[in-house]
Structures are given as C-alpha cells and as structure tokens.
Structure 1
Amino acid sequence: MRITIHRGIDQASGCITEIATEQARILIDLGQNHPDGDGNAQITLANSEALARLTRGADAIFYTHFHPELLGLSYLVDDSVKQHIGCVAKRVALYRHQRLARTNGDEEQQALVLSKLERMVVYKPKQPIVIADIKVTPYFVSHSAYDSYMFLVEAQGKRILHTGDFRGHGYIGKGLLSTVEKHVLRKGKVDFLITEATMPSCSNESVSHEHGLGRRALELMRQYRNVFVMCSSTDMERLATFYGANREMGGRPFICDDYQKCILDIFTETAGRRSPLFVFDSAHTFWKGNEQLAAQMQETGFCMLVRATEKFDEYLEAIIPRLDMDSTVLIYSMWKDYVNPNSKHAVKRYLDFVARFPVVKSMHSSGHASADCLARLCNLVNPRSGIVPMHAEQSTDDQKLPLKDELRAKVVTSSQTKDDVEVEIRTTSQYPDIP
C-alpha cells in the first residue's frame, strides 16, 4: 500500500491525498489554493495538464466537504473518474455555482463546474463504498462547512483514518470522539491517522465554543440596535449562533439577501429535521426597493447578514443614511488575517468593506480543531504506525501537541516506509503547476 500526501503538508489549503494498492487508487480531496488578496486563483493550461496527470487512472475521488480548498479543482477531472461527495454538500456547491454563473459573467466555466458537480455520486454516512480492494466509510464531523466527513479507508489489512477538517467546539462537535470510539476503534486498531493540523501553531490561543459566541452576540445586540454581521454564508453553526441571538431580542428582523436565504432554506430542510437549532424559518429577504422592510429596520433595529460584494455595497448605500451610526455595529466573524493589512492572507475587498463601518467588533471561533481537541483525538486513536498532519503551513507544529510519548515519535512529516506502507510526503514546490 502507498499513501501519498500530494499537497497539504506545508500549506493550509489545496489538500490532496492519495491512497493506492496494486488493484486501486483513490484520491481524497482535490483542493484549490487560497486565492490572492484580490480574490484571484488563476487556472492555466499548465494547471489543467498537471491535474490531468495526477487524476488520470484514479478509480475514485472522495471529497470531505464543499470548501474550495478541498473541492475547488474537481471540475478539471475527466468524466471517467467517479467523484463522491455528501448529499447536502452537493446541494450547497451546486447552488453556489448556479448563482456564480448568473452573477460573475463566467458562464462557460461555471457550466463546466456544474456539469461535474451534477455527475458526483452522493455517499451516505456510515455506508461503505468499495473500490476494488479498498473500502471507504464516511463518518460525519463538525466543521465550518456543514455536511463534512472523515473517511475510514481499509485495504490489505490496513486501516487509515483520514479526518478531513473538523472541530470539537461547535454545536454538533461533541460527538466526534464518541463516533471514532464507537464506529472506528471498536472494529479494530487504526494503522495511520491522517489529520488536519491547522491550529497547533496557535496552541496558546483560547478557542471559544459557539455557545460562548452566542452569549457575546446577544450582548452586542443589546448594546446596538442595528447589527450587521459578516460571516461565512455556509457556516451553518455560526449562522445559527446569530439567528438564535437575534431571536432573543424579540421583534427584530433577521435579514439576508436571496442567495443567503436559499442557503438557509437548504440547512432548514436538512439539518433542521434533526435539530430546531438549525431551523431558519423567520429570515427576511432584503432587496433594493424593499421599502417596507427598510422602514421596519429603521423602526425596530435588526440583524443583517452581509458579504463583501458590490451588491452589498449598494445595499449599504441605501440603508446606512437612514440609521443612527452610534447605534450601529458590524460584527466581523471570520478569520482575523483576512482583515489584517500586514498579513499575506489579507483580502482587499474585505478590508475595504469593513472600513465602511465606524464601529467593528470581532467575534470568531475557528472551524478547525483546537490543539487540545486534536491531541485528544490522536491519543484516543493511538495509531499503530503513524500520524500524518496536513492542512497546515507548518505540520511540524504537531510536535507541540500534548501527545503520549510513543505517539510523538510516530508523527510523519517526511517520506518513509512504515510497517509495509510506503508514505510519500510531497511539498508545494514539487507541484508548481497545480493552482
């Protein structure tokens, strides 16, 4: 058996993992690098050819969730290769690209993306998929993208747990360790644990639970009548935090645009069946010219979800002149580096958008596992052969985790053969043509 980390050992995006036997070869995620500060992620002919070489002959590709850094290059895969994704993840990705096709002016590329998404095979949690001598079983995890999964990969007597991105501090993150214990470890030892390692370098930072964010949001809503919220449009748990806090205010409308409303409807129809926490049935849709809603906002106050786009620039131009700015706040609930002008990850349109508000309050918690959560998972799984960290700019930061002594020696960050499994670790510099 061979495990290849094509990308992810030294970067926090664009992850690609390959697991192969003599009979089959699968890939897990085919991610696109984070765009530059202007939002560009250029795809060239060289990029396409490099991806074709990588995916040619693969028996299947499995996606852990719908974020572009895991799914973003799926449209470059030949139709002969089956691609697998979760049911809700597919719905969200399809809707997102349907909207992009109408608004971004790149109908031809979006049509290609949509055709690939529509062909994707939907997997179900806990139901194995067999590819020759490789068996893949998905298990649900909490992440900032709803409908995210880890994969148990079994082949040739070896068991590999690929966690994908996960966290333990969301509303639905409490089941992580029990899921691993009940459904993975009771059936046998894990040989290799391939896990995200985004947060270990921030091990000294405290990580807030969504419950804590909800209390902070409510405090701000009591302090300010007019509340704008800038957060991910697809982070269901964060959206539930603000929706729930606003509901406590009684009578204030919870407002979004038509795109966000459709995303909320998808979550209500799916996750909402499992928990009332994710039922967003009282959201109001704003559009320019909706005078009745604008008047209500001015009279009662509100909570409005916003994004850094030209459309919302126009919305703000219509709304802000009607507001008392001393009673108005923008809650920024995304990664702090996006609005740090000194960071290489700064996004200009985010900086410009946030600058429109005289009062900005930051309130965020990562979609990734804290150092403590990651250590607890590693110690619980206690793999026989190795721990392979990825989705991190410095995967050696895993050495900082409070791991058992015997586990610390099993962290794999360079190519080697362990217990008859060839582990190949490739760096970003080995893939200059893959975006």
Structure 2
Amino acid sequence: MKIIVHRGIDQIGGCITEISTVKARILIDLGQNLPNGEGVVDDDLASHEAIESITQGVDAVFYTHYHGDHLGLFHYVPDNVRQYIGKVAKRVALCKHRQLSYIKGREQQSKEEIAKLEGMGELSPGQTITVGDIKITPFFVSHSAYDAYMFLIEADGKRMLHTGDFRGHGYLSKGLLPTIEKLILSQGKVDFLITEGTMLSRLGEKVMSENELQRKAGEIMTRYKNVFVMCSSTDVERIATFYASNKRLKYRPLVCDHFQKNILEIFTKSAGEHTPLFRFDEAYDFNPTNTKLLDWMEDKGFCMFVRATDKFKDYYQALASRLDPNETILIYSMWKEYINDNSKHAVQRYIDFVSMFPYMETLHTSGHASADCLAKVCNLVNPVLGIIPIHSENSASYKNLPINEHLQQIIITSSNSTGHVEIRINQSL
C-alpha cells in the first residue's frame, strides 16, 4: 500500500493526498493553491493536462468539504474518474457556481463546473463506499464549511484516519472526540493519522468559541442600530451566530442578497431539521427599490450580510443617507490578515470595502483546530505507525504540540516506509 502526499506538507491549502493498493487508487481532495492578496492563483496543476496526469489510474476522488483549497480543481477531472462530496456540500457548491456563472466571460467555465458538480456522488455520514479493495467511511466534523467530513480509510489490513479540516470550538464540535472514540476506535486501532495543522503557526493564540463570539456579537448589536456583517457566506455556524444575536433584538430585520438567501434556505432544509439554531426562516432579500423594507430598516435597525463587491458598495450607498453614522457599524468576521495593509495576505478590495463604514469591529474565530484540540485528537487516536501532518505552513512543528512522547517520534514529514506501507511526501508541486 502507498500513501502519497502530492501537496500540502508545508503549505496551507492546495491539498491532494493519494492512497493506493495494487487494486485501487483514490485521492482525498484536489485543492487549488490559495490566491495571493490580489486574487491571483499560482498553481501549476490548474489545467486539464496536469489533472489528467495526476488522476491517471485513479478510481475516485473524495472531497472533505467545498472550500476551494480542497475542491478547487474538480472541474479538470476526466469524466471516467468518479468524484464524491457531501450531499449538502454539493448543493452549496452548486449554488455558488451558479452565482459565478453570471460573471461576464465565465459562462463556459461555469457550465463545465456545474456539470461536474451535478454528476458527483453524494456522501452521508457513516455510510461506507467501497472502491476496489479500499473502504472509505465519512464522519461529520465541524468546520467553517458545513457538511465537512473526516474519512476512515481501510485497505490492505491498515486503517487510516484523514481528518480534513476541523475544529473543536464550534457549535457542532461536541461530537468530534466521541465520534472518534465510539465510531472509529471501537472498531480497531488506527495505523496512520493524516491531519491538518493550520493553527500550528499560532500556538499561543487563544481561540474563542462560537458561543463566546455570539455573546460578543450581541453586545455590539445592542450598542449599534445598523449592523453590517462581513463573513463567509457558506459558514453555517457563523451565520447562525449573527442570526441568533439579531433575533434577540425584536423587530430588527435580517437582510441579505438573493444568493445568500438561497444558501440560507439550503442550510434551513438540512442542518435546520436537526436544530432551530440553523433555521433561517426570517431573512429578507434586499432590494434598494423596496421602500417598505428600507423604511423598516431605517426605523428599527437591521443586520445585513454583505460581501466586498461592487453590488454591496451600491447597496451601502443606497442606504447611507438614511442611516445615522454614529449608529452604524460593520462587523468584520473573517481572518484579520486580509485587511492588514502590511500582510502578504492583504486583499485590497476587502480593505477598500471596510473603509467605507463609519465604525468597524473585528469579531472572528478560526474554522480550524486549536493546538490544544490537535493534541487531543492525536493523543486519542494514538496511531500505531505514524502521524502525517498536512495543511500547515511548517508541518515539522507538530512535535511542539503537547502530544505523547512516543507519538512525537512517529511524525512523518518526509518519504519513508513503515509497517509495509510506502509513504511518499512531495515537498512542493
């Protein structure tokens, strides 16, 4: 058996992991490299030719979630290679790519993307899919993308747990450790743990829980009448935080555009069936010509989800003359480096957008596991043969985590063989 980390050993995003036997080959994620601050993506694999080469002989691709750094190269995959993603994740991705199809000059690319997504197989938690002699079982995890999964992969008498991206401080995180203990470890030991390490570069950073973030959001909304929120449009837990905070302030409408409303409807019909926290039944589609809605917003205040686009600049300008600047704020709920002028990750359109608002507060928590959570997962899984860290800027720093001493000795960041398994780590691609 072979485990090949094609990409991801010392970079965040662009993840591609291969697991193969003499009878079958699968890939976990086919992610595109993250863009730079100008939105430009430098990725040698972003072509039909490159993906045809890397997927040659591959039987199936399994996606942990719908973020571009895990899913982004899906539309280059040849039709003879089966692709799988979560059932709800598929609907969210389709909604996003249908929205992108309205961009001038992108029609043909979007058509191809939508066709590929529509043809994907659907994953459900706990339901095993067999590809040749490889068994893949998805288990639900909390992340800043809803319907995200870790995968238990069983092949050649070995068991591997690929965590994908996950966290331990979200509303949906309480099932993380029990799932590993009761549904995975109860069936046998895990030989290899392939896991993310996004937060390794921020070992000393205190991670706020989503519950705490909701409390702070409520305090801000109490102080300000007119609240704009800039956050991920597809992060159900973050959206729920602001929706719940706004709902406590009676008679204030929750406002968004048509795309966001479609996303809310997807979440309401899926996650909302399990808990009222994710039921977004009272959201209003903003239209600058809807004077009744405008009058209501001016009178009672509001919470409005926005994105850094020309459309939302126009929406803000349409509202600005009706709003008291001293009662108006933007809550920025994304990674702070995007609006840091001195950061290599700075996004100028984000910086320009947030500068329009009279007041701005940053209120965010990561979609990724804290150092403490990573250590708890490593110690609980206690893999027999190795820990392979991916999705980290410096995977070797895994040894700095408070994990059991014997686990520190089996962290794998370079190619080798162990337990009759060949492990190949590509340093860059």
* Corresponding residue for residue 238 of structure 1: 238
Shift of 1:34: 1.1
Distance 2:164 2:255 in 1: 32
Shift of 1:104: 4.5
Matches within 5 A, 1:27-426: 27-41=27-41, 47-426=47-426
Distance 1:97 1:220 in 2: 33
Output one character per residue of 1:322-343: Cα deviation in whole Å (capped at 9) or x when no partner: 1111111110000111111111
Output one character per residue of 1:278-335: Cα deviation in whole Å (capped at 9) or x when no partner: 0000111102212111111111111110000111011011011211111111100001
Shift of 1:47: 3.5
Q: What SS class does the counterpart of residue 102 from structure 1 fall into?
A: coil
Distance 1:311 1:105 in 2: 18
Output one character per residue of 1:78-135: Cα deviation in whole Å (capped at 9) or x when no partner: 0000000110000000111011102353000000111110110112110111111100
Distance 2:89 2:415 in 1: 33
Shift of 1:397: 2.0
Q: What SS class does the counterpart of residue 265 from structure 2 fall into?
A: helix
Distance 2:422 2:357 in 1: 53
Q: What SS class does the counterpart of residue 228 from structure 1 fall into?
A: strand
Distance 2:163 2:332 in 1: 28
Mapped contact 2:386–2:410 kept (Cα < 8 A): yes
Distance 1:193 1:45 in 2: 26
Q: Which moved more, 1:83-92 or 1:316-325?
A: 316-325
Distance 2:225 2:46 in 1: 52
Mapped contact 2:3–2:424 kept (Cα < 8 A): yes
Q: What SS class does the counterpart of residue 198 from structure 2 fall into?
A: coil
Distance 1:385 1:160 in 2: 10
Q: What SS class does the counterpart of residue 39 from structure 1 fall into?
A: coil
Distance 1:83 1:342 in 2: 40
Distance 1:288 1:39 in 2: 29
Mapped contact 2:46–2:73 kept (Cα < 8 A): no
Q: Structure 1 387/339 Cα, relative in aligned 2: closer, same or farther at 3 Å?
A: same
Distance 2:232 2:80 in 1: 33
Q: Which moved more, 1:270-279 or 1:36-45?
A: 36-45
TM-score by length of 1: 0.97
Shift of 1:44: 7.7
Q: What SS class does the counterpart of residue 174 from structure 1 fall into?
A: helix
Shift of 1:48: 2.9
Distance 2:417 2:342 in 1: 41
Distance 1:44 1:124 in 2: 32
Q: Structure 1 247/45 Cα, relative in aligned 2: closer, same or farther at 3 Å?
A: closer
Distance 1:374 1:227 in 2: 35
Distance 2:415 2:42 in 1: 30
Matched residue type, 1:235? D
Distance 1:42 1:405 in 2: 38
TM-score by length of 2: 0.98
Distance 1:418 1:24 in 2: 20
Distance 2:337 2:301 in 1: 30
Shift of 1:36: 2.2
Q: What SS class does the counterpart of residue 61 from structure 1 fall into?
A: strand
Identity score, percent: 56
Q: Which moved more, 1:308-317 or 1:284-293?
A: 284-293
Mapped contact 2:30–2:73 kept (Cα < 8 A): yes
Q: What SS class does the counterpart of residue 207 from structure 2 fall into?
A: coil
Q: Structure 1 355/244 Cα, relative in aligned 2: closer, same or farther at 3 Å?
A: same
Matched residue type, 2:60? A
Gaps of 5+ in 1: none
Q: Which moved more, 1:233-242 or 1:96-105?
A: 96-105
Distance 2:249 2:366 in 1: 26
Mapped contact 2:227–2:302 kept (Cα < 8 A): yes
Distance 1:230 1:396 in 2: 34
Q: Which moved more, 1:354-363 or 1:179-188?
A: 354-363
Q: Structure 1 45/375 Cα, relative in aligned 2: closer, same or farther at 3 Å?
A: closer
Distance 2:338 2:48 in 1: 28
Q: Structure 1 45/333 Cα, relative in aligned 2: closer, same or farther at 3 Å?
A: closer
Q: Structure 1 44/411 Cα, relative in aligned 2: closer, same or farther at 3 Å?
A: closer
